Chain A
Amino acid sequence: MPGTIAVNLARIAIIIAVLALWEVLSRTGIVNLRLLPSASDTFATLGDLLQRAAVRKDLMVTATEVLAAFALAVPFGAVIGFLVAENRYFADVAKPLLFFAFSIPKSIFLPMFILVFGVGFAQKVGFGFFSTIFIVIMSTTTAVESVKTEHLTVARSYGATRLQTAFRVYLPSMLPVLLEALRISMIFNLTGVILAEMYASRDGIGHQIATWGENFQMKQLLAGVVMVAAIAMTFNELVRWVETRCSHWRT
């Protein structure tokens, strides 16, 4: 691709410009220093926080909740999505209902999760699962539908067994869509867990961020934001990297 370097340079320039603007706005007092601590102070605070055992423990708690919710929602959602796509009757019945369910903001159910599960680990995982599973179901359905009939006919005409068709036609056809689904699911999942932590919790990074906010500790709050953003972006980029490696299939 021509101009990749120029594009990357432009991106870096924008990031630097945003950080510089942040620093200037705060240092010159255009924005109240107590509302917007400077970028340099925020990053210094971030360094301090990461040294603290309590913060690291909160990060671990959140990571465990996120991974548990993800590990439950993805296989469950994938199986349901597969059944919906493969079974005509099931699809007719379930598809519109799933679309309805997907359109409802999941956050309004959070109080119910607290009533049922309390404010511990189960509530976070439960709500994370609930926030994620609909998008997994819908993406899997799309992935199954992306398998071309021509390709299935080719496999059949050369005597492929069911298992061979599954691994040699379905899986590779679906993989690009599934990877994309995985990436988007993680965004929903992370949002769900952090929201549950901020709403009612005793630990986790979301709980910390909410507490810092309530106590007007803006430096810590912003450092927490940077932390969560970095984690989310790292996961996103990881999956995207895998995606680009098999992107030539899509054409």
Chain B
Amino acid sequence: MQPLANVTPLKPPARAGAIEVNNVGQVFKTRSQDVVALEDVSLEIKPGRFVVLVGPSGCGKSTLLMMMAGLRQQTSGTITINGAPIPQPDPDRVGVVFQEASLFPWLTAEDNVEFPLALRGVPKAERRAKAQDALKLVGLDGFGKRHPHELSGGMKQRVSIARGLVQDPPVLLMDEPFAALDEQTRMTMGDELLRIWAATGKTVVFVTHSLTEAVYLADEVIVMSARPGRIVDHLQVQLPRPRTYEMLSGDAFGSLRDRIWRHIRKSA
């Protein structure tokens, strides 16, 4: 219980969509030894930023994302979203987009998008209206009645994004959402995501293996090292928006990508 005397906060209230990670550590206990998955990770993400986490396999970037989603608890340190900790998933604050195959195959696209609303008992008509808006936003107007197996890989991930946005949370967490897509679809989906992000103003935290994707999408790239997972670099990507395909071959793009690659090569 919050005593009444504490009504005046010491710090100004965090704006919707702010994420703060303070000295977070994660230790997995196995029978023979303790594995340090994350060590002293601190990070501040301002509202509305597009932040990409990259690093070699096993650097704990997905673990960190799952902690921000409240799906996992850190061993030490704190994580706050909108200024409050996240001890369990909170769909009002955070929407999550997973890798491919996270849609329910027995539901249509619109029923999949409505799923988070259905869990909270939102009336059918309101649910449908919100799902239609979300599907329209991701460019899938008119595909609501299809089942996932009738959609392409890119379309499925659009549905996943719509599901993540349907409750209008200030933060969208994305765990390698385009990893299973082919190169062309992946590029298109990147542009689509940037369009959706610009239209909604969400804070996006995006995990990927692809350095090109990281630099192309991000305002900021957080580079992590392999076990123990630490932040080894935090780059500001100053490339203008909208990002274009031509930027990929530019010097600015190349030097950013090289800088990330040098970190990753060192720790891999």
In the assembly, what is the distance between CA of A14 and CA of B110, in Å?
45
Report if A158-B71 is in contact (Cβ < 8 Å); known contacts: A169-B104, A246-B106, A251-B105: no
Q: Which 9 A-B pairs have the closest CB atoms?
A: A158-B116, A249-B106, A251-B149, A157-B96, A172-B106, A157-B89, A150-B102, A158-B91, A249-B105
User: Contact at B98–A159, with CB atoms within 8 Å?
Assistant: no
Contact with A along B91-134 (1 / 0, CB 8 A): 10010101101101110000000011011100000000000000
Distance from B131 Cβ to chain A, minimum over Cβ atoms (Å): 14
Of the candidates A156, A169, A175, A249, the one whose C-beta lies within 8 Å of that of B89 is A156
Contact with B along A156-172 (1 / 0, CB 8 A): 11111100100011001
Of the candidates A150, A169, A173, the one whose C-beta lies within 8 Å of that of B98 is A150
Listed by A's residue number, 7 A-B pairs whose Cβ atoms lie within 8 Å are A150-B101, A154-B98, A158-B119, A246-B106, A248-B106, A250-B105, A251-B149
A156, A157, A164 pick with most chain B CB within 10 angstroms: A157
Question: Closest A-chain residue to B112, C-beta based?
Answer: A154
Count of A residues near B, CB < 8 Å? 23
In the assembly, what is the distance between CA of A150 and CA of B103, in Å?
9
Binding site for A on B (CB under 8 A): 69-71, 88-91, 94, 96, 98-99, 101-102, 104-106, 115-116, 118-120, 147, 149
In the assembly, what is the distance between CA of A148 and CA of B90, in Å?
22
In the assembly, what is the distance between CA of A130 and CA of B186, in Å?
54
User: Contact at B104–A172, with CB atoms within 8 Å?
Assistant: yes
The reply to whether the CB of A151 lies closer than 8 angstroms to some CB of chain B is yes
Of the candidates A164, A173, A251, the one whose C-beta lies within 8 Å of that of B119 is A164
Query: Hey, which chain A residues are within 8 Å of B105, CB to CB?
Result: 248-251
In the assembly, what is the distance between CA of A177 and CA of B46, in Å?
47
Question: Closest A-chain residue to B116, C-beta based?
Answer: A158
Report if A157-B149 is in contact (Cβ < 8 Å); known contacts: A148-B101, A164-B119: no
The reply to whether the CB of A32 lies closer than 8 angstroms to some CB of chain B is no
What secondary structure prevails in chain B residues at the interface with A? loop
User: Contact at B149–A248, with CB atoms within 8 Å?
Assistant: yes
User: Contact at A160–B149, with CB atoms within 8 Å?
Assistant: no
Complex interface residues of chain A between 207 and 251 (CB less than 8 A to chain B): 246, 248-251
User: Contact at A159–B71, with CB atoms within 8 Å?
Assistant: no
Contact with B along A132-157 (1 / 0, CB 8 A): 00000000000000001011011111
What secondary structure prevails in chain A residues at the interface with B? helix
Question: Closest B-chain residue to A171, C-beta based?
Answer: B106
Query: Hey, which chain A residues are within 8 Å of B101, CB to CB?
Result: 148, 150
Binding site for B on A (CB under 8 A): 148, 150-151, 153-161, 164, 168-169, 172-173, 175, 246, 248-251
Question: Closest B-chain residue to A246, C-beta based?
Answer: B106
Report if A157-B106 is in contact (Cβ < 8 Å); known contacts: A150-B98, A150-B99: no
User: Contact at B89–A159, with CB atoms within 8 Å?
Assistant: yes
B99, B106, B119 pick with most chain A CB within 10 angstroms: B106
In the assembly, what is the distance between CA of A29 and CA of B138, in Å?
75
Report if A153-B71 is in contact (Cβ < 8 Å); known contacts: A159-B90, A160-B119: yes
User: Contact at A158–B102, with CB atoms within 8 Å?
Assistant: no
Query: Hey, which chain A residues are within 8 Å of B91, CB to CB?
Result: 157-159
Query: Hey, which chain A residues are within 8 Å of B118, CB to CB?
Result: 168
Query: Hey, which chain B residues are within 8 Å of A249, CB to CB?
Result: 105-106
Of the candidates A156, A161, A169, A175, the one whose C-beta lies within 8 Å of that of B71 is A156
User: Contact at B69–A151, with CB atoms within 8 Å?
Assistant: no
Query: Hey, which chain A residues are within 8 Å of B115, CB to CB?
Result: 154, 158, 168
User: Contact at B99–A159, with CB atoms within 8 Å?
Assistant: no
In the assembly, what is the distance between CA of A9 and CA of B99, in Å?
45
User: Contact at A154–B102, with CB atoms within 8 Å?
Assistant: yes
Distance from A95 Cβ to chain B, minimum over Cβ atoms (Å): 22
